[in-house]
């Protein structure tokens, strides 16, 4: 069988943009009766090389993760750094930003395939890449360079 561009048919993360990640985490934890996860600031140390719309950005962001039985649910609170997260919130308000697929060791190559497929690469860091597929699929696709 020909290899699928998105690899295994497995959505590893669903990520929501919210105004307040701490509040979202606290409320979602209550609904699931699980501990409230810590809200962390990604790229606080600037070690990740982030590019948004072709330009470098610090790309810091506040995140809270829930490891559910079948999928990771992520809440994203943008910072003032220029990012797809900040623009999404400004343009659409709170909403689901992306669903993620694993692309270990083939993230940029898969991103290039998706660009040829018609979905532009809008932002990427060392371990993630976002492809703009919203007009057709209703959601941004994320590729993760993880197992």
Binding interface with a copy of itself (CB under 8 A): 1-6, 8-11, 14, 16-20, 23-24, 27-28, 30-34, 66, 68-71, 73, 75, 92-97, 99, 114, 117, 134-139
Number of neighbours of residue 47 by Cβ within 10 angstroms: 8
Structure tokens at 113: 């395939």
Minimum Å gap between C-beta 141 and a copy of itself is 8
CB of 35 to a copy of itself, least distance (A): 12
Residue nearer to a copy of itself on the CB measure, 42 or 96: 96
CB of 46 to a copy of itself, least distance (A): 27
Q: Which CB sits closer to a copy of itself, 23 or 51?
A: 23
What minimum distance in Å lies between the beta carbon of 18 and a copy of itself?
A: 5
Pick between residue 5 and residue 122 the one whose CB is nearest to a copy of itself: 5
Residue with Cβ nearer a copy of itself (80 or 91): 91
């Amino acid at each position: 069988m020909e290899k699928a561009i998105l690899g295994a048919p497995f959505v590893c993360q669903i990520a929501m943009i919210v105004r307040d990640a701490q509040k979202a985490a606290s409320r979602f934890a209550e609904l699931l009766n699980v501990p409230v996860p810590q809200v962390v600031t990604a790229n606080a140390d600037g070690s990740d090389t982030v590019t948004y719309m072709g330009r470098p950005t610090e790309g810091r962001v506040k995140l809270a993760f829930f490891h559910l039985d079948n999928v990771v649910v992520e809440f994203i609170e943008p910072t003032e750094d220029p990012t797809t997260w900040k623009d999404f919130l400004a343009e659409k308000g709170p909403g689901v930003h992306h669903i993620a697929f694993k692309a270990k060791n083939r993230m940029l190559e898969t991103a290039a395939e998706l660009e040829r497929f018609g979905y532009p690469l809008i932002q990427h860091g060392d371990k993630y890449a976002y492809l703009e597929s919203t007009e057709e699929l209703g959601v941004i696709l994320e590729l993760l360079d993880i197992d």
